Chain A
Amino acid sequence: MPDSVTRALGDGDGEGSGRQWKVPFASLGRGRSRWIVVFIRNEMPLVLLVVLLLVGGLLSPVFLTPRNMLNILWAVSVLGIVALGQTMLLISANFDMSVGYVVGLVGVVIILTQTALGFGLVPSIAAGLLVAALFGLFNGGLVVLTGASPFLITLGSGTLAYSIALALTGSKTLYTPIASFTALGQGRLVDGLYYSTAVFLVLALALEYALRRTTYGRSLFVLGTNEVAGRLSGLLVARTKIMTFVLCSLFAGLAGLMVTSRDGSTVANVGVGYLFDSIIASVLGGTSLFGGFGGTLRTVVGVLVLGVLSNLLILMDVPAEAQAIVKGAVFLSVVWADGVLRSK
Chain B
Amino acid sequence: MARLAWARSHLRLRANVVLLLSLLALFAVLTGGSTLSSENLHNLTQQIAITAPVVLAQMIALLIGGMDLSVGAVLAMSGVLAVGLQPLGLWPAVIVAVLFGTLIGAVNGLLVTRAGVNAFIVTLGTMYLVTGALLTYTHQQPIAGTIPAFTEFGGGDILFVPTPVLIVLVISAVLHGFLVYTRTGRNLYAVGGNADAAFVTGIAVQNHKLLGFIIAGTLSGIAGVLLASSLNSGSVQVGANASLTSIAAAIIGGASMFGGRGGIGGALIGVIVLGVLANGMNAVGVSTYYQIGVTAVILIAVVVLDAVNSRVVSRPSLSNISRPSLRRRSNGVLVNRTP
Contacts and interface: CB of A to CB of B under 8 A. Distances in A.
Contact of B287 (A93, A151, A156, A167): A167
Interface in B296-324: 296-297, 299-300, 303-304, 306-308, 311, 317-318, 320-322, 324
A339 B311 contact: no
B257 A167 contact: no
Nearest to B306: A148
Contact of B293 (A167, A331, A340): A167
B128 A324 contact: yes
B300 A166 contact: no
Contact of B116 (A152, A290, A329, A343): A343
A335 B251 CA distance: 28
B114 A324 contact: no
| Interface-central residue, B129, B296, B306, B321, by most chain A CB under 10 Å | B296
B307 A323 contact: no
Given A147-B311, A321-B139, A22 B114 contact: yes
A343 B320 CA distance: 29
B300 A335 contact: no
For the side of the interface on B, what is the size category? 35 or more
Interface in A159-190: 159-160, 162-164, 166-167, 170-171
Contact of B325 (A142, A226, A276): A226
A328 B292 contact: no
B126 to A, nearest CB: 7
Contacts of A225: 325
Contact of A147 (B114, B130, B320, B325): B320
B5 interface: no
B257 to A, nearest CB: 4
Contacts of B7: none
B131 interface: yes
Given A163-B290, A163-B293, A152 B325 contact: no
A50 B293 CA distance: 44
B122 A332 contact: yes
B303 A328 contact: no
Interface in A119-174: 142, 146-149, 151-153, 155-160, 162-164, 166-167, 170-171
B111 interface: yes
Interface in A264-297: 276, 279-280, 283, 289-290
B326 to A, nearest CB: 11
Contact of B292 (A97, A163, A326): A163
B135 interface: yes
A344 interface: no
Contacts of A39: none
Contacts of B111: 332, 336
Interface string B113-133: 011111011101111111111
A320 B121 CA distance: 23
A283 B293 contact: no
Given A149-B257, A319-B136, A159 B296 contact: yes
A171 to B, nearest CB: 8
Given A149-B257, A163-B289, A321-B135, A335 B125 contact: yes
B247 interface: yes
Given A283-B121, A332-B126, A155 B307 contact: no
Contact of B324 (A93, A280, A320): A93
A254 to B, nearest CB: 23
A231 B124 CA distance: 33
**What 3 A-B pairs have minimum CB-CB distances, sorted nearest first?**
A328-B128, A324-B132, A325-B132
21 contacts: A146-B307, A147-B321, A148-B306, A149-B258, A156-B296, A156-B297, A159-B295, A160-B296, A162-B296, A166-B288, A167-B290, A280-B124, A320-B135, A324-B128, A324-B135, A325-B128, A325-B129, A329-B129, A331-B124, A335-B117, A343-B336
Given A149-B257, A290-B324, A290-B328, 6 more contacts: A93-B324, A152-B257, A156-B300, A324-B128, A335-B121, A335-B125
